[in-house]
Amino acid sequence: MNGRTDWAAHIVLGLGVLLFVLPVWLVFAASTQDAGAIGRGELSLIPDLTNFSAYVTVLRDGAPGVAPVGRMLLVSAAMAIGIAFGKIIISVLSAYAVTFFRFPFRMLCFWTIFITLMLPVEVRIIPTYAVMADFGLINTYAGLTVPLIASATATLLFRQVFLAVPDELVEAARMDGAGPLRFLRDILLPVSGANIAALFVILFVYGWNQYLWPLLVATDQRLDTMVIGIVKMVGADTATQWNQVMATAVLALLPPVTIVLLMQRWFVKGLTEGDK
Amino acid sequence: MLPVALVLPQLLLTFFFFLWPAGQAVWASFTRQDPFGIRTQFVGFENFTDLFEDPLYVESMGRTVVFSGSVTVVAMLVALCLALFADREIRGRNIYRTLLIWPYAVAPAISAVLWILLLHPQIGAFSHVLRMLGIGWDYKINSTQAMLVVVLASAWKQVSYNFIFFLAGLQSIPRSVIEAARMDGARGWRRLRTITLPLLAPTTFFLLIVNFVYSAFDTFGTIQALTQGGPGKATETLMVKVYRDGVVNLNLGSSSAQSVVLMVAIIALTVVQSRFLNRKNAE
């Protein structure tokens, strides 16, 4: 503003950045070092850029008791993408219905969807497991994704977006003889593009980072996600191969962090406007 | 029929995976099974009275409040401080913002791994420093240190989320208001206290609830990776306890009652929040 450097701001923000970057840097450095040395507490701040053998080992063979990380990456990616797209699709459809149509029990439908906000997995662990078992969804890919697809947040967000569509536009579409599904495809989807992008980031991160849900419904090692795998590796406290744990942690961090960074602009806007 | 077809997928999922299990949890919380799981008996509120007479449960409640309160305060204060400075017009502020928001994407359980590398009694980078300072550092056996570690790891992950919201809140304060305060000679701390913070109050209130819910529920993975609720029960929050009692020890009646208590808590928080937001929207 007045040409002088705002040192206080640079110092505080620099410390903040350090607080976030330093732990991840250490994890990266550790992933390239000898497991024995880390175990003795001789961790070096400088990564050994010639030694990525821990990555090769975990990607191909995995650690004792967990699936190969290459496989876990696929499971996590499938789960995150399935949940993100699933939620977006069913939320767009239901928001479209409750916003633009009058039908019996419309408000009841709306409130039923709203109530899911108050019933996260955490408060219904055991009975949900029983329902999953009845449907034969334990240890299946559908079991990992489908039950997490119902979401009030996304539906409420799309409803807000749709309510903001000017009446003239709706009227014009009707005059042009656009049917309800064409109206959805040609008008509503294009105007919600930025919101869909933002939601995709938020939901991908949500799906990728799930812990309790896969822990409950997937006991089969072949359905281990990255997060589940890491906690298992850390839990095996005897003779933990720390360089392999850290390499797995780096691989678990990369996909969601990359998506957030690449789509930062939409994501920040969507998060602050949508969640409220 | 078209609109019904459109809402149907959402309704079916909601019914089968939300309402039905939640109803089952409520029903199971009023019943008790014999040890062999053959007979189920209706016992009224007995599971609940047992729960609140159980010192272990009451302790776990207190622990959850202390833990969630600490995480909320730490994560919000650090984020507010960073947001206040990131809102200033300094060189490179977009880079700072980018570098401060990415931890949003880190899974709670993964943030635990980062903190293991910093503070683990054997391999932790800081543990040696602490020991050199004469502090007997081992969170695997020291309860207070264990609580400190789970609070730090849980708060670390939540700072970015709060930062994003505080910064958005600050940016929505009209520049003219700030300018007017500046003209009136309100500077620094006084401007912050009399203008900025009151205008941030809606954001702060929203974040208080979100952070409390996050620390009570979403930190389960963090705690499992770091301490599994231990040593002893030092970091056993209500969420860890309901998992241990229900999934590990298969005590259905008690764990269902615990689930119902959590359900009531989260419904109460959601109602308070939406009441508040409705009032805000009406203004």
Give the residue extent of every domain in chain B.
35-282
Query: Does the distance separating the beta carbons of A149 and B102 come in below 8 Å?
Result: no
Query: Which chain A residues have a beta carbon less than 8 Å from that of B272?
Result: none
Specify which residues B40 forms β-bridges with.
B33
How confident is the model over A163-206, as pLDDT tens digits?
888 888 888 887 887 788 888 888 888 888 888 999 999 999 99
H or E element at residue A236: none
Q: Is B275 on the interface with A (CB under 8 A)?
A: no
Specify which residues B32 forms β-bridges with.
B41
| A-proximal residues of B, 58-97, CB under 8 Å | 78, 81-82, 85-86, 88-91, 96
Query: Which chain A residues have a beta carbon less than 8 Å from that of B16?
Result: 131, 135, 147
The pLDDT value recorded for residue B62 is 94
Query: Does the distance separating the beta carbons of A205 and B105 come in below 8 Å?
Result: yes
Query: Which chain B residues have a beta carbon less than 8 Å from that of A37?
Result: none
| Residue range B35-282, CATH number | 1.10.3720.10
Residue type, B80: L
| B-proximal residues of A, 66-125, CB under 8 Å | 90-91, 93-94, 96-98, 100-101, 103, 106, 109, 112-113, 115-120, 122-125
pLDDT: which is higher, B271 or A65: B271
The pLDDT value recorded for residue B283 is 47
Q: Is B155 on the interface with A (CB under 8 A)?
A: no
Q: Is the pLDDT of residue A237 over 70?
A: no
What average pLDDT score do residues A262-273 get?
84
Half-sphere exposure (CA, 13 Å, Cβ side) for B168?
23
What average pLDDT score do residues A237-259 get?
87
The DSSP secondary structure of B142-189, one letter per residue, reads -HHHHHHHHHHHHHHHHHHHHHHHHHHHHHTS-HHHHHHHHHTT--HH
The pLDDT value recorded for residue A14 is 93
Query: Which chain A residues have a beta carbon less than 8 Å from that of B255?
Result: 125-126
How confident is the model over A48-85, as pLDDT tens digits?
888 888 888 888 887 777 888 889 999 999 999 999 99
What average pLDDT score do residues B258-278 get?
83
How confident is the model over B4-32, as pLDDT tens digits?
888 889 999 988 888 888 888 888 888 88
- How does the average pLDDT of chain B come out, rounded? 87
Query: Does the distance separating the beta carbons of B13 and A103 come in below 8 Å?
Result: no
Q: Of B225, B215, B84, B104, nearest to B159 (Cα)?
A: B104
The pLDDT value recorded for residue A276 is 40
* CA dihedral of A232, A236, A239, A242, whole degrees rounded to 10: 30
The pLDDT value recorded for residue B106 is 93
Which domains are assigned to chain A? 52-274 (1.10.3720.10)
Nearest Cα of chain A lies from the Cα of B165 at a distance, in angstroms, of 6
- The ipTM estimated for the assembled molecules is 0.89
Q: How many CB atoms lie within 10 A of CB A150?
A: 27
Q: Is A18 on the interface with B (CB under 8 A)?
A: no
For residue B90, the 8-state DSSP code is -
Query: Which chain B residues have a beta carbon less than 8 Å from that of A123?
Result: 22, 25, 259-260, 262-263, 266
Instruction: Write the CB contacts of B97 (distance below 8 Å, at least 6 apart in sequence).
Output: B86, B167
Nearest Cα of chain A lies from the Cα of B120 at a distance, in angstroms, of 9
Q: Is B164 on the interface with A (CB under 8 A)?
A: yes
Chain A to chain B, count of Cβ pairs less than 8 Å apart?
264
* Most confident range, picked from A120-124, A158-162, B76-80: B76-80
Minimum CA–CA partner of B209 in chain A: A276
pLDDT: which is higher, A181 or B76: B76
How confident is the model over B117-168, as pLDDT tens digits?
888 888 888 888 888 888 888 888 889 999 999 999 999 999 999 999 999 9
The pLDDT value recorded for residue A1 is 47
The pLDDT value recorded for residue A211 is 92
- How does the average pLDDT of chain A come out, rounded? 86
Query: Does the distance separating the beta carbons of B246 and A125 come in below 8 Å?
Result: yes
pLDDT band, residue A90 (cuts 50/70/90) = very high
Query: Which chain A residues have a beta carbon less than 8 Å from that of B240?
Result: none
Whole-number Å distance between alpha carbons of B173 and B160: 20
Query: Does the distance separating the beta carbons of A128 and B21 come in below 8 Å?
Result: yes
pLDDT band, residue A275 (cuts 50/70/90) = very low
Query: Does the distance separating the beta carbons of B122 and A39 come in below 8 Å?
Result: yes
What average pLDDT score do residues B37-63 get?
87
